[in-house]
């Protein structure tokens, strides 16, 4: 029997609503630093990923404006036709230089770049071994590639080794988030690099929440772990988080990156990002890798330490994380929503993250800290979290 898509959508919506799973977009009317005006109220934003505040940095904004005056607002064509501009080329070189890797290749977003890497490198007969908590784009990429997708328990390098040993034929990619987006903890990269090396697999690290934040000069988690392109031949760098822009690059060994430029469909059949956006991203890279970036990272670390100390003193059960992502596990979806609503009433914007973004029964408040938060912001957030504890539907 033919199924009506409209009826199906309607009944799924009703189910979602009953299960407290309906997602709601909020419209930000204005922003001022870490404050955002939503539905007529100014809230302290504790849920964004612009960890260093670079999205509003005067030099980044000026690069975007000047770039648009010079190159226009659009991308004009794909990179392989006529869309590859000097600003794109300059950004790829700046990224390779900063991250001490041979090559960088731009993509429209991190989501697309992950699809590109997996679809471009793997196919039938190959294996992609992944941490169970990896970002959705890595899971989707493996499905698109048509390879065997094997997931191991979170941060379990032994589990990764067993999966690789079970697939000795074909090529293998070991893919992991560097910093896990909903948990804030770090992948055991040194052990994973050993495992990948022992099994002839390529280690691919998603640096979305690490680049700009961790490592010397903000080079990310591979650098922080004392590793380089030899151990992790490919990494994803996204521009939409600590770099305050939008877009992404795959960075690493020339032979792999150049192959992606030839064959990766999510990079080929799409319009290039506007050159002005590339110019803005390059300005952000220059800040992130320099003394101003160091100062912002120090502020961010101080905020993380202040928040964790205060939470401990109040008996708030934070998850183990030393990154700007500081989740507070709640459990039930409805309780996470109720706590987020109670925080909003007190002027704090914290996201309630529910399944399927996180595993069933592990709904949480995903608190993110920012270099632009002040001591009073952190202290106020702690008081509010303490007060809304136990709020329920």
Which positions are catalytic?
A: 181, 209, 241
**Choice between 209 and 354, CB closer to ligand PLP:** 209
Nearest CA among 246, 315, 255, 319 for reference residue 278: 246
Task: Give the DSSP letter of residue 55.
Answer: G
How far is Cα 180 from Cα 153, in angstroms, rounded to an integer? 13
| 176 sits near ligand PLP (criterion: CB under 6 A) | no
Task: Out of 53, 220, 240, 244, name the contact with ligand PLP by CB under 6 A.
Answer: 240
Where does the chain show beta strands of DSSP type E? 28-32, 35-38, 41-45, 103-107, 127-131, 148-152, 172-177, 202-206, 234-238, 248-252, 325-331, 348-349, 351-353, 363-368
Task: Out of 137, 229, 277, 362, name the contact with ligand PLP by CB under 6 A.
Answer: 137
How far is Cα 342 from Cα 157, in angstroms, rounded to an integer? 39
How far is Cα 190 from Cα 222, in angstroms, rounded to an integer? 9
Nearest CA among 102, 32, 141 for reference residue 252: 102
Task: Give the three-class secondary structure for 185.
Answer: coil
| 109 sits near ligand PLP (criterion: CB under 6 A) | yes
| 324 sits near ligand PLP (criterion: CB under 6 A) | no
**Closest distance to ligand PLP from the beta carbon of 108 (Å):** 8
| 142 sits near ligand PLP (criterion: CB under 6 A) | no
Q: Please, where are the H alpha helices in 54-128?
A: 58-71, 86-99, 110-121
| 206 sits near ligand PLP (criterion: CB under 6 A) | yes
Which of the stretches 69-77, 103-111, 187-195, 383-391 binds ligand PLP when contact is defined by CB under 6 A? 103-111
Please, what's the b/e burial string for 349-379 (b: 16 or more CB within 10 A of its CB; e: otherwise)? Answer: bbbbbbeebbeeebbbbbbbbbbbbeeebbe
DSSP per-residue string spanning 203-267 = EEEE-TTTTTTSSGGG--HHHHTT--TTT--EEEEESSSTTSS--EEEEE-HHHHHHHHHH-HHH
How far is Cα 222 from Cα 149, in angstroms, rounded to an integer? 24
**Closest distance to ligand PLP from the beta carbon of 144 (Å):** 15
**Closest distance to ligand PLP from the beta carbon of 112 (Å):** 7
Which of the stretches 26-34, 202-210, 217-225, 385-393 binds ligand PLP when contact is defined by CB under 6 A? 202-210
Task: Out of 248, 250, 338, 378, name the contact with ligand PLP by CB under 6 A.
Answer: 248
| 119 sits near ligand PLP (criterion: CB under 6 A) | no
**Closest distance to ligand PLP from the beta carbon of 3 (Å):** 31
**Closest distance to ligand PLP from the beta carbon of 177 (Å):** 5
Task: Out of 238, 277, 321, 368, name the contact with ligand PLP by CB under 6 A.
Answer: 238
| 208 sits near ligand PLP (criterion: CB under 6 A) | yes
Which of the stretches 19-27, 104-112, 215-223, 331-339 binds ligand PLP when contact is defined by CB under 6 A? 104-112
| 135 sits near ligand PLP (criterion: CB under 6 A) | yes
| 84 sits near ligand PLP (criterion: CB under 6 A) | no
Task: Give the DSSP letter of residue 319.
Answer: -
Task: Give the DSSP letter of residue 36.
Answer: E
Task: Out of 111, 204, 307, 349, name the contact with ligand PLP by CB under 6 A.
Answer: 111
Which of the stretches 108-116, 119-127, 139-147, 332-340 binds ligand PLP when contact is defined by CB under 6 A? 108-116
Contacts to ligand PLP by CB under 6 A: 109-111, 114, 135, 137, 177, 181, 206, 208-209, 238, 240, 248
């Amino acid at each position: 029997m033919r199924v009506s898509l409209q009826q199906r959508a309607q009944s799924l919506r009703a189910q979602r609503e009953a299960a407290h799973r309906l997602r709601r977009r909020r419209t930000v009317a204005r922003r001022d630093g870490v404050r955002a005006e939503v539905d007529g109220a100014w809230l302290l934003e504790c849920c964004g990923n612009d960890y260093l505040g670079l999205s509003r940095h005067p030099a980044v904004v000026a690069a975007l404006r000047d770039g648009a005056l010079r190159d226009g607002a659009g991308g004009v064509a794909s990179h392989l036709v006529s869309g590859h501009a000097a600003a794109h080329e300059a950004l790829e070189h700046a990224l390779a230089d900063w991250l001490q890797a041979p090559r960088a290749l731009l993509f429209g977003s991190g989501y697309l770049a992950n699809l590109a890497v997996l679809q471009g490198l793997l196919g039938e007969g190959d294996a992609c071994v992944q941490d169970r908590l990896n970002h959705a784009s890595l899971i989707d990429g493996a499905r698109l590639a048509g390879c065997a997708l094997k997931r191991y328990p979170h941060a379990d390098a032994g589990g990764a080794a067993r999966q690789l040993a079970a697939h000795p034929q074909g090529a293998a990619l070991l893919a992991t988030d560097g910093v896990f987006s909903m948990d804030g903890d770090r992948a055991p990269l040194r052990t994973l690099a050993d495992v990948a090396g022992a099994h002839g697999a390529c280690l691919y690290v998603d640096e979305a929440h690490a680049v700009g934040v961790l490592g010397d000069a903000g080079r990310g988690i591979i650098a922080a772990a004392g590793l380089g392109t030899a151990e992790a031949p490919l990494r994803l760098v996204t521009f939409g988080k600590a770099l305050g822009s939008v877009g992404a690059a795959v960075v690493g060994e020339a032979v792999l990156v150049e192959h992606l430029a030839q064959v990766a469909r999510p990079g080929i059949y799409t319009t290039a990002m506007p050159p002005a956006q590339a110019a803005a991203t390059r300005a952000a890279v220059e800040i992130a890798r320099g003394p101003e970036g160091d100062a912002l990272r120090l502020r961010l670390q101080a905020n993380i330490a202040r928040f964790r100390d205060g939470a401990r003193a109040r008996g708030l059960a934070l998850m183990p994380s030393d990154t700007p992502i500081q989740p507070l596990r709640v459990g039930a979806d409805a309780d996470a929503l109720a706590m987020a609503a109670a925080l909003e009433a007190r002027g704090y914007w914290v996201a309630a993250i529910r399944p399927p973004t996180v595993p069933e029964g592990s709904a949480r408040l995903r608190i993110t800290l920012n270099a632009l938060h002040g001591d009073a912001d952190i202290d106020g957030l702690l008081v509010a979290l303490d007060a809304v504890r136990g709020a329920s539907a």
